């Protein structure tokens, strides 16, 4: 007997913060949503969770649309998921939506620390970190929404 998809949203009991930590180990990429002139814009990127779990960091060239959008509007959303693009995803895939404020980090000790964090998780990024056009963006997490089993929702808000 096949399980039917739930038709109603239910409150989850999973720790959204713990799942965010788990996803950081399991998942390499996320989808960033920015906004410009009322139009949403999405980008796939490599990310890392900061050790204090208060932020997510990624890198981008200064010339990108996502960078320009962040400079004009720091409010962003980041989607991290476990989908495999199969039918079983309806009930087994999980997503985390991170809502926060994104800001470029100036070169210096903090930049070096975040750069090393990204390189540890994504060694292929090492070659671009020395480029003066490379920017590190830190998303200060405000709210995380974890979805599992299609409509089971758990939330965590930064205090």
20, part of any domain: yes
Mean pLDDT in residue range 42-49: 97
pLDDT for the residue 146 = 85
What sign does the dihedral 32-107-129-72 (CA atoms) show?
Answer: positive
Distance CA 38, CA 57 (A): 24
pTM, two decimal places: 0.86
91, part of any domain: yes
Rank 12-16, 67-71, 143-147 by mean pLDDT and report only the highest.
Answer: 67-71
| 135: enclosing H helix or E strand | strand 134-148
pLDDT for the residue 64 = 97
157, part of any domain: no
pLDDT digits (tens, 9 = 90+) for 87-138: 554 556 788 999 999 999 999 999 999 999 999 999 999 999 989 999 999 9
**Boundaries of domain holding 59:** 12-152
7, part of any domain: no
pLDDT digits (tens, 9 = 90+) for 54-76: 999 999 999 999 999 999 999 99
More confident residue, 132 or 151: 132
Please state the separation of Cα 101 from the chain's center in Å: 12
Structural domain count of the chain: 1
**Cβ neighbour number for residue 127 with a 10 Å cutoff:** 10
1, part of any domain: no
pLDDT for the residue 6 = 43
pLDDT for the residue 11 = 63
132, part of any domain: yes
Distance CA 8, CA 2 (A): 18
Q: How confident is the model at residue 152 (pLDDT cuts 50, 70, 90)?
A: low
CATH of the domain at 53: 2.30.110.10
Distance CA 30, CA 6 (A): 26
158, part of any domain: no
């Amino acid at each position: 007997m096949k399980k039917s998809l739930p038709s109603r949203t239910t409150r989850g009991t999973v720790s959204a913060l713990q799942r965010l930590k788990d996803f950081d180990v399991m998942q390499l990429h996320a989808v960033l949503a920015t906004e410009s002139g009322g139009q949403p814009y999405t980008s796939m990127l490599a990310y890392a969770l900061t050790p204090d779990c208060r932020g997510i960091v990624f890198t981008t060239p200064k010339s990108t649309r996502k960078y320009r959008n962040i400079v004009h509007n720091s409010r962003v959303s980041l989607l991290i998921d476990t989908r495999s693009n199969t039918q079983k995803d309806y009930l087994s895939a999980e997503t985390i939506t991170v809502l926060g404020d994104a800001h470029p980090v100036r070169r210096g000790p903090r930049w070096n620390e975040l750069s090393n964090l990204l390189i540890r998780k994504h060694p292929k990024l090492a070659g671009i970190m020395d480029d003066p056009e490379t920017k590190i963006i830190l998303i200060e997490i405000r709210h995380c929404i974890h979805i599992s089993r299609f409509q089971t929702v758990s939330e965590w808000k930064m205090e």
